Amino acid sequence: MKKVIKILGYLIGGLALIAVGFFAFVSLTWEKKFDAPYPTVSISSDSTVLARGQYLVYGPAHCATCHIDPNDYEAMSAGQLVPLAGGADLIIPPAHFRPRNLTPDKETGIGALTDEEVARVMRYGVGHDGRVIFPFMPFENMTEYDLNAIISFLRSQPPVNRKIEPTEYTFLGKAVIAAGLIKPIAPSSTPAKDMKQEASVVYGEYLANSVANCAGCHSPRDLKTGEFTGPKFSGGLAFEEVSGTFITPNLTPDPETGLLAKWTEASFIQRLKAGLVHEGTPMPWSSFAMMDEVDLKAIYMYLNSLPPTKNLVAQTVIRKETEE
């Protein structure tokens, strides 16, 4: 009996040492600094460029969904160009994320950052101080024209002095970074200079993957690390929100389980244009409702070109009162 107790003591002591060692490892190494190239940026005051930047920011790139005061969300949904002064919250296991002020205010916004530093965040997911940015913005393959248009538009806006507190990482989030599970992103190839805005599969692929990030939510993923764990666009990713659980539908053209099999091009466009239906959803409906029909047609064409993936998502909205 004494021998058993002694062995258990060694085991417990060993586990305690491992836990202390892991805690020390995370605490000492999670604040990693990364290096990445600074993209060449060409800021413009041309009205066409600024219009494109505005369209992307409030439309398909849905920057305004996260980088605005939540109190301004209703006004944005009504079509107002509310300031991108930050203030929203995203609380998931790795951290309490606080999207920053994107106005050109030098004290609290991006006014003190160079154009190249802003571009590096978008293209490589590396902040001006070398920290890694969680992969919420899939802009690494965005065209040079669109990247420049967004930054040009942000620079053209009135500065708003609004301090946003830094993101607070949980121990889990710090451990994920320390273990190297979150790394800088990078273009899969040299980004295109520009792309013709047209109703085509190629343009739809660009929008769905490199601008609107449809793949980011409508695919199986590990929300701790951001890694894809199944076929893209097959749905099934669950978001636990205040009002309930939202599960993304399968967007592939599978005739039995795919949402696209039930929608014509016209009904797809009509639904996206209709905007918000379910309160509390993480889907940026208000931004997507601002997209023009050419872009929506292109996305519809691309989604229909995908290999059908069988993945039944029986219920996409589960309100909390129905769970009890």
Q: Is residue 8 in some structural domain?
A: no
pLDDT at 7: 64
What distances in angstroms separate CA 284 from CA 41, 59, 227, 249, 289, one per listed residue?
Answer: 28, 9, 21, 15, 9
Higher-pLDDT residue of 291 and 92 is 291
Residue 218 has pLDDT above 60, yes or no: yes
How many domains are there within the chain?
Answer: 2
Domain boundary at 167, 190, 213, which?
A: 190
pLDDT at 322: 47
Burial of 225 (0-12, 13-18, 19+ CB in 10 A): middle
What distances in angstroms separate CA 217 from CA 12, 171, 185, 238, 289, one per listed residue?
Answer: 41, 24, 17, 9, 17
Q: Is residue 282 in some structural domain?
A: yes
Residues 232 and 179 in one domain: no
Q: Is residue 14 in some structural domain?
A: no
Residues 323 and 213 in one domain: yes
Under the banding of pLDDT at 50, 70 and 90, the label for residue 324 is very low
For the segment 176-187, the average pLDDT, to the nearest whole number, is: 88
Q: How far is Cα of residue 115 from the mean position of the Cα atoms in its chain? A: 21
Residue 195 has pLDDT above 70, yes or no: yes
Calculate what percentage of the chain has a pLDDT beyond 90: 60
Q: By three-state DSSP, how is residue 45 classified? A: coil
What is the per-residue pLDDT across 10-42, written as a single tens digit (0 to 9) for each? Answer: 567 666 677 777 778 778 788 889 999 999 999
Residues 254 and 288 in one domain: yes
Q: Name the residue among 143, 101, 126, 97 with its Cα closest to residue 34.
A: 126
Query: Residue with structure tokens 């040299």?
Result: 190
Q: Which residues contact 177 (CB under 8 A, 6 or more apart)?
A: 30, 32, 132, 169
Residues 93 and 178 in one domain: yes
Q: Name the residue among 276, 269, 261, 271 with its Cα closest to residue 312.
A: 261
Judge whether 277 and 269 are in contact, CB under 8 Å: no
For the segment 67-91, the average pLDDT, to the nearest whole number, is: 88
Burial track 236-262 (b if 16+ CB lie within 10 A, e otherwise) = bbebeeeebbbebbbbbbbeebbbbee
Residues 128 and 220 in one domain: no
Q: Determine if the pTM surpasses 0.75.
A: yes
For residues 134 and 126, what is the distance between their CA atoms, to the nearest angstrom? 9
What is the per-residue pLDDT across 222-247, written as a single tens digit (0 to 9) for each? Answer: 877 778 888 999 998 888 877 778 88
DSSP 50: H
Range of the domain at 308: 195-324
Judge whether 300 and 224 are in contact, CB under 8 Å: no
Q: Where are the beta strands (DSSP E) in the chain?
A: 90-92, 95-97, 168-169, 238-241, 244-247, 317-319
Residue 321 has pLDDT above 70, yes or no: no
Q: Which residues contact 253 (CB under 8 A, 6 or more apart)?
A: 260, 261, 303, 304, 306, 308
Residues 109 and 186 in one domain: yes
pLDDT at 323: 44
Least confident residue range of 119-123, 140-144, 181-185:
181-185
For residues 104 and 251, what is the distance between their CA atoms, to the nearest angstrom? 37
The winner for highest mean pLDDT among 23-32, 64-73, 294-303 is: 294-303
pLDDT at 14: 66
What is the per-residue pLDDT across 245-285, written as a single tens digit (0 to 9) for each? Answer: 888 999 999 999 998 888 999 999 999 998 877 777 878 88
pLDDT at 134: 85
218's tokens: 């409508």
Residue 196 has pLDDT above 80, yes or no: yes
For the segment 137-165, the average pLDDT, to the nearest whole number, is: 96
Residues 66 and 182 in one domain: yes
> Which helix (H) or strand (E) is 52 found in, with range?
helix 47-58
pLDDT at 4: 60
pLDDT at 9: 61
Indicate the average pLDDT of the chain: 89
Residues 126 and 213 in one domain: no
